[in-house]
Structure 1
Amino acid sequence: MEVGALYHQFVGTPVGPETTTSLERAIEDAGENRPDCGSITVDIRDDELLDAIEHDNGYTALDGSLLAVEMTVRRGETTVDATIGTADDDSLLRIVDIESDHR
């Protein structure tokens, strides 16, 4: 849920080469504000970004193909590691690992 919410919160945001760093930090800050998010790292892929800019305005809309995100979510006794990336040119929100302290 946290991964999907974060993804949909920022998809469509205008982004260009001059704004990638500030948008990466904004996404990380927004993720860290979520009560269950333990850690998050965001990378907007520069090469893909430049390829996606198709007009003279110098920006494009952020989509999953531009994102590489790793995050850890902890709810109760369960920790989930998740990523946002792409596979076969489609956005992919993926659960990488689930651990539980429950015995």
Structure 2
Amino acid sequence: MISDREQAVFEAGIKLGALYHQWVGTPISRATASSVETAIEGAVGLQPYVTAIRVRLNRDLMTENPFGYSELTGAMFSAEITTVYGKARCVAALAYTGEYPLMSIRSIDETP
């Protein structure tokens, strides 16, 4: 059997991976970025064990193509998610490191 702690970490990781792969390539502009952030938060927040999600997109990287929009890339993401499973809580993040959009665990704690 796996622990609550391991399951909370798994839930955070799988949700960040899905977030990344579902939204990369989405047409976006500085004018629509806020609504896309809200849509991502709303969609991910519906999933089991998610207690908090915050998504911010780097508007400085949104350069318009000839049709007036950009495509969402991994470098634009800054996301933090909190999952709770049983007695364990995991805070994980997705952020561009300068080389790669890396997912990482920020903290894990358990209630007695």
Work out whether the TM-score is over 0.5.
Answer: yes
Q: Give the distance between the partners of 1:75 and 1:20, measured in 2 at CA.
A: 31
- Unaligned runs of at least 5 residues, structure 2: 1-13
Q: Which residue of 2 aligns with 1:95?
A: 105
Structure with more strand by fraction = 1
Q: Tell me how large the CA RMSD over aligned residues is.
A: 1.4
Q: State the structure with bigger RCO (CA 8 A, min sep 6), 1 or 2.
A: 2
Q: Deviations over 1:21-78 (max 9, x none)?
A: 110000000111011111111111111223xx3x211222212101111111112221
1:28 equivalent to 2:41? Answer: yes
Is residue 82–residue 96 contact of structure 1 (8 Å, CA) maintained in 2?
yes
Aligned equivalent of 1:48, options 61, 67, 81:
61
Q: Give the distance between the partners of 1:5 and 1:57, measured in 2 at CA.
A: 28
Number of corresponding residues:
99
Residue type of the partner of 1:95?
I
Q: Which residue of 2 aligns with 1:9?
A: 22
Q: Which residue of 1 aligns with 2:80?
A: 70
Is residue 64–residue 84 contact of structure 1 (8 Å, CA) maintained in 2?
no
TM-score by length of 2: 0.80
- Unaligned runs of at least 5 residues, structure 1: none
Where has structure 1 moved over 2 Å in runs of 4 or more? none
1:80 to partner: Cα distance: 0.7
